[in-house]
């Protein structure tokens, strides 16, 4: 089976399931494992496919994701190839995706234990009784946050936080005035897709002087494949989740 993966987190999953020889095509954003873009053909981005390169890869299966890919491109691919799409907005859907990909690639013997290990790691998290309001920023100029109906929103709750912008949908732009009014106790600056770093902390501290501001690993909040194995332990380093006594 020759597989083209249109999603970075699912590409990493394929390699972790031992499917590196079957991976015929990946996107330019598929950075894990680092060898992926050398062993497979790079077929463009997640929202701008190179159809000629995909054709040259001769895929027997294309796997994508509803949020990360664009409908027009997926529709065009589906005319010529078998296309399997995931739709992941929370942890149960992520675990189901891992198991389904294991099933369709004949790797259930590896995918099922992987999903179970991820599930067990999250089961050990014991959130505080009261969720603390947090704002999770994914972009700067303009400011953009992860709001409701996103995988990041679900991960925030798992980590013991409520989304300060849950009344907004998806990935809205917000103003400094809206942030100040929301007054979250925590502000998370994601390392991706915008590369926030410590130099940006003071900028947000000016807007919300009382908030705790942290640069966080965006991959552990937003990648929903095998990288989730490290997410629960990472969330324990953030407040207010706590591990079992």
189 versus 127: the higher-pLDDT residue is 189
Beta bridge partners of 44: 49
Q: Is the pLDDT of residue 243 over 80?
A: no
Domain span(s) for CATH 3.40.50.1980 in the chain: 3-122, 132-235
Q: Is the pLDDT of residue 239 over 90?
A: no
Average pLDDT over residues 4-33: 97
Average pLDDT over residues 25-42: 95
Query: What pLDDT digit, counting tens, does each position of 7-16 carry?
Result: 999 999 999 9
Query: What pLDDT digit, counting tens, does each position of 211-220 carry?
Result: 999 999 999 9
Contact 51, 6 (CB under 8 A): no
In angstroms, rounded to a whole number, what is the distance separating the alpha carbons of residues 174 and 144? 6
Neighbouring residues of 203: CB distance < 8 A, sequence distance ≥ 6:
none
How confident is the model at residue 126, as a pLDDT?
76
Q: Is the pLDDT of residue 228 over 70?
A: yes
How confident is the model at residue 8, as a pLDDT?
97
Burial group, residue 38, by CB count within 10 angstroms (0-12, 13-18, 19+): exposed
Q: Is the pLDDT of residue 94 over 90?
A: yes
Q: In the chain, what percentage of residues exceed pLDDT 90?
A: 92
**Superfamily grouping for domain 132-235:** Nitrogenase molybdenum iron protein domain (3.40.50.1980)
If pLDDT is split at 50, 70 and 90, which confidence band does 245 have? very low
For 141, other C-beta atoms within 10 Å of its C-beta total 6
240 versus 192: the higher-pLDDT residue is 192
In angstroms, rounded to a whole number, what is the distance separating the alpha carbons of residues 239 and 156? 11
In angstroms, rounded to a whole number, what is the distance separating the alpha carbons of residues 158 and 207? 26
- C-alpha dihedral sign at 72, 46, 52, 19: negative
How confident is the model at residue 127, as a pLDDT?
67
Query: What pLDDT digit, counting tens, does each position of 46-90 carry?
Result: 999 999 999 999 999 999 999 999 999 999 999 999 999 999 999
Contact 14, 5 (CB under 8 A): yes
For 170, other C-beta atoms within 10 Å of its C-beta total 13
CATH assignment of 3-122? Answer: 3.40.50.1980
In angstroms, rounded to a whole number, what is the distance separating the alpha carbons of residues 6 and 142? 27
In angstroms, rounded to a whole number, what is the distance separating the alpha carbons of residues 187 and 206? 12
Query: What pLDDT digit, counting tens, does each position of 153-172 carry?
Result: 999 999 999 999 999 989 99
The C-alpha torsion from 229 through 91 and 103 to 2, rounded to 10°, is -70
């Amino acid at each position: 089976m020759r597989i083209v993966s249109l999603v970075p987190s699912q590409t990493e999953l394929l390699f972790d399931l031992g499917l590196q020889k079957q991976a015929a095509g990946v996107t330019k954003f598929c950075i894990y494992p680092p060898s992926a873009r050398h062993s497979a053909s790079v077929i463009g981005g997640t929202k701008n496919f190179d159809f000629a390169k995909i054709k040259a890869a001769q895929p027997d299966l294309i796997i994508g994701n509803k949020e990360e890919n664009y409908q027009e491109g997926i529709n065009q691919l589906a005319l010529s190839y078998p296309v399997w799409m995931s739709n992941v907005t929370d942890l149960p859907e992520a675990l189901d995706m891992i198991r389904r990909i294991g099933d369709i690639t004949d790797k259930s013997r590896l995918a099922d234990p992987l999903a179970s290990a991820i599930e067990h790691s999250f089961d050990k998290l014991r959130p505080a009784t009261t969720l603390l309001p947090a704002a999770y920023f994914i972009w700067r100029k303009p400011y953009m946050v992860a709001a409701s109906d996103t995988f990041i929103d679900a991960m925030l709750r798992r980590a013991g936080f409520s989304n300060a912008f849950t009344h907004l949908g998806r990935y809205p732009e917000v103003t400094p005035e809206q942030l100040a009014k929301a007054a979250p106790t925590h502000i998370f600056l994601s390392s991706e897709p915008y590369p926030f770093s410590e130099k940006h902390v003071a900028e947000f501290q000016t807007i919300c002087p009382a908030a705790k501001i942290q640069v966080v690993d965006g991959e552990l909040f937003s990648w929903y494949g095998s990288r989730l194995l490290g997410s629960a332990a990472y969330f324990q380093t953030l407040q207010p989740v706590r591990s079992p006594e």
